[in-house]
Structure 1
Amino acid sequence: MVTIKDIAARLKVSPSTVGRALADDSRISEATKQRVTEVANEMGYVANLAARMMRGVSSNLVGFVLPDIRNGFYSTVAHALSKCLQRGGFQLTLSETDDDRLVELHHIRELTSANVAGIIIVPTAKPHPDSVKLLKMLPHIQLLRRHASLGEQWFGIDDTQAIYAATSHLVQLGHHRIGYIGATDELPTGSARLKGFHQALPRGENVNPALVQLVAPGSIDIGREATRRLLSLPTPPTAIVAGSVQTTQGVLEELTAQGVRVPDDLSVVGFGDEIGFRWWGPGLTTVGLPVYDLATACGLWFVHQIKDNAVTSAPYTSISPATLIVRGSTKQLAPASGRRIASPRRRTVVSG
């Protein structure tokens, strides 16, 4: 196995110079760093991470702690972060929590023990106190969700504005019985989106509590169940707003299974713009999210902070707006708004 001493002998410099160059030490010139890196790659040198950890040197790993990589929303974020960090000389490692704070704590402990350079986290609703203590010991940034105990450094989306725009669109089309399916208000994103829904409704208009379905995040099946509850109401909604990507998928699957004609029987506004959404039925009207740009901005900021040793607890917030994408799943409500949804109908075929 090639060692630092072998590289030093080849370059006729001291082993300490090689070690510092490979560790990106500011005391070593950029020209020397480049020369050392080229020779190290040529000789097939592999850094001994365990030895670096024993010396207390941070690795080039950045942990990304997230709820569920199966969610297209988060996989897009992970991809953007990975590319951004790679250009900065760091490698992204993924840890799924399934929104379980004990699993979250386990991953944070493991990442900390590996001397990661920092952690980017989509926190659970109530992070464990030990998670809070560990994160305060190393650079970290919250992404998409924000929890006060983890500090005020956060990159996110204007969730209130996103659902406000979706609901306002339906109100302008004449809908009053609008169903909403979103995450519980335990999550900051859930409460912000619910706030946007209520703000968009006409003032003084009472909302039937049954039209608001607050569900656990991260499950398509839960979205389907909530859709069934809305459709089975004595007076079902004339429109539905979905408050998450997976909820949207659940809504579309259930509407398809029941043969509901969109937008003739029901108007629908989704959340996120997954690849298949534009091809679903008449095309899904949905809230477009600046996911890639948001993740890239977060990654660039984090790399800069780490490299300049500038990571502090000073508040830093970046909020990106969402955009409503209008397609064929919403339309003007006819004057006779008491229409009923017959179920089941003939199962329709979904393209895409």
Structure 2
Amino acid sequence: MITIKDIAARLQVSPSTVGRALADDARISAAMKQKVQEVANELGYVANRAARMMRGVSSNLVGLVVPDIRNSFYSTIAHALSKCLEQEGYQLTLSETDDDRQTELRQIRELTSANVAGIIIVPSAKPHAESVRLLGMTPHIQLLRKHASLGEQWFGIDDVQALYQPTRHLVDLGHRRIAYIGSSAELPTGAARLKGFREALAGAGSPCEGIEELGAPGSSEFARDALRRMLALPAPPTALVVGSVLHTFSVLEELLASGVSVPERLSVAGFSDELAFRWWGPGLTTVGLPVSELATACGLWFVHRMKQKVPSGAPYSSISPPTLIVRGSTRRHP
């Protein structure tokens, strides 16, 4: 294995000079750093990350902690962050929690034990106290969801408007029995989306009935069951708005399987603008979310903070607006 001593011998300098050059130490000239890097590349030198961690040196790894990588929200975020961080000399490492606070704690422990440069997290509903403590000692930023115990630095989407806009669209089309299938209100995003749904109904100008089914954001079976229950009601809804990506996919699958005519029997508005939603049936009316742009902005801000060693704690929020996209799955109620 090639070591720092081998590089030093080739350049006829001390190992400490090579070590400092590889660590981008300000005491080493740019010319020497370039020479060291060229020889290191030529010899195939690989930095000993474990040794660096033993010396207390943070790595170039940035942890991304998300609930469910199957959700296109999070895979899009991971891709955008990976590209953004790579350009700045950092490498993204991905951890999945399944929205379980104990799993979340275990992932955070592993990341902090590896001396990661920072952590970007979509937190669970109730982070463990130990998770809060560990994150308090590590540069971190919350993404999409915001939990007060984890600080006031957050990049997110206006989740109230993300449900207000499609619900208001259905109200304006004359629908007065409107159903909502969405995430549990225990999650901050779920609570905000439910608020948007209710506010749109309350502002309708004439009485509206809201039918609500709330469940786990990653449960496709919940969404299917909820739709079946709604359609079996004596007075079923004439319109449906969905509050998560995975629930939207599940609802669309169930509508096809049950032969429900959209929008003739049921007007449907989904969540997020996936490619498949544009091709589904008459085209799905949905709310577009700037997820990739949001992730890139979060990554750039976080990198700047880490490089400048800005003290944590100062509140910072960035909220991106959603956009209603109207297609053929919604129509005026007769």
TM-score higher than 0.5:
yes
SS class of match (1:263): coil
Does residue 1:106 correspond to 2:103, yes or no?
no
Q: Distance between the aligned counterparts of 1:11 and 1:239, measured in 2?
A: 73
For residues 21 and 266 of structure 1, do their structure 2 counterparts lie closer, same or farther at Cα, with a shift above 3 Å needed?
Answer: same
- In structure 2, the residue matched to 1:350 is none
Deviation, structure 1 residue 19 = 1.6
For residues 234 and 153 of structure 1, do their structure 2 counterparts lie closer, same or farther at Cα, with a shift above 3 Å needed?
Answer: same
Q: Distance between the aligned counterparts of 1:171 and 1:26, measured in 2?
A: 62
For residues 26 and 123 of structure 1, do their structure 2 counterparts lie closer, same or farther at Cα, with a shift above 3 Å needed?
Answer: farther
SS class of match (1:324): strand
Q: Distance between the aligned counterparts of 1:78 and 1:256, measured in 2?
A: 31
SS class of match (2:133): helix
- In structure 1, the residue matched to 2:159 is 159
Deviation, structure 1 residue 22 = 1.9
Deviation, structure 1 residue 207 = 5.5
Per the normalisation by structure 2, the TM-score is 0.96
- In structure 1, the residue matched to 2:224 is 224
Amino acid in the other structure paired with 2:140: H
Does residue 1:59 correspond to 2:59, yes or no?
yes
Amino acid in the other structure paired with 1:109: R
- Deviation by residue 1:228-266 (Cα, 9 ceiling, x = unmatched): 111111111111000000010111011111101111111
Q: Residues 192-211 of structure 1: matches in 2 within 5 Å?
A: 192-203=192-203, 208=209, 211=211
State the aligned residue count: 333
Q: Distance between the aligned counterparts of 1:34 and 1:307, measured in 2?
A: 21
Q: Residues 134-283 of structure 1: matches in 2 within 5 Å?
A: 134-203=134-203, 208=209, 211-283=211-283
Q: Which runs of 5+ in 2 are unaligned?
A: none
Q: For the Cα contact (< 8 Å) 1:263–1:331, is it kept in 2?
A: yes
Q: Distance between the aligned counterparts of 1:157 and 1:27, measured in 2?
A: 43
- In structure 2, the residue matched to 1:321 is 321
- Deviation by residue 1:91-147 (Cα, 9 ceiling, x = unmatched): 111110000000000000011111111100000000000000000011000000000
Deviation, structure 1 residue 8 = 2.0
For residues 6 and 276 of structure 1, do their structure 2 counterparts lie closer, same or farther at Cα, with a shift above 3 Å needed?
Answer: same
Q: Distance between the aligned counterparts of 2:25 and 2:175, measured in 1?
A: 62
Q: Which runs of 5+ in 1 are unaligned?
A: 335-352
Q: Distance between the aligned counterparts of 1:172 and 1:30, measured in 2?
A: 64
For residues 181 and 133 of structure 1, do their structure 2 counterparts lie closer, same or farther at Cα, with a shift above 3 Å needed?
Answer: same
Deviates more, 1:317-326 or 1:194-203: 194-203
For residues 244 and 3 of structure 1, do their structure 2 counterparts lie closer, same or farther at Cα, with a shift above 3 Å needed?
Answer: same
Deviation, structure 1 residue 36 = 2.3
Q: For the Cα contact (< 8 Å) 1:223–1:249, is it kept in 2?
A: no
Deviation, structure 1 residue 10 = 2.1
SS class of match (1:13): coil
Q: Distance between the aligned counterparts of 1:207 and 1:74, measured in 2?
A: 34
Per the normalisation by structure 1, the TM-score is 0.92
Deviation, structure 1 residue 83 = 0.5
- Deviation by residue 1:179-201 (Cα, 9 ceiling, x = unmatched): 00111110000000001011111
Q: Distance between the aligned counterparts of 1:80 and 1:243, measured in 2?
A: 23
Does residue 1:37 correspond to 2:65, yes or no?
no
Amino acid in the other structure paired with 1:192: A
Deviation, structure 1 residue 206 = 5.6
Deviation, structure 1 residue 39 = 2.0
Deviation, structure 1 residue 90 = 0.7
Q: Distance between the aligned counterparts of 2:208 and 2:174, measured in 1?
A: 15
Deviation, structure 1 residue 162 = 1.0
SS class of match (1:318): strand
Deviates more, 1:25-34 or 1:111-120: 25-34
- In structure 2, the residue matched to 1:93 is 93
Q: Distance between the aligned counterparts of 1:311 and 1:86, measured in 2?
A: 23
For residues 325 and 35 of structure 1, do their structure 2 counterparts lie closer, same or farther at Cα, with a shift above 3 Å needed?
Answer: farther
Q: Distance between the aligned counterparts of 2:27 and 2:240, measured in 1?
A: 60
CA RMSD in angstroms, aligned pairs only: 1.4
- In structure 2, the residue matched to 1:128 is 128
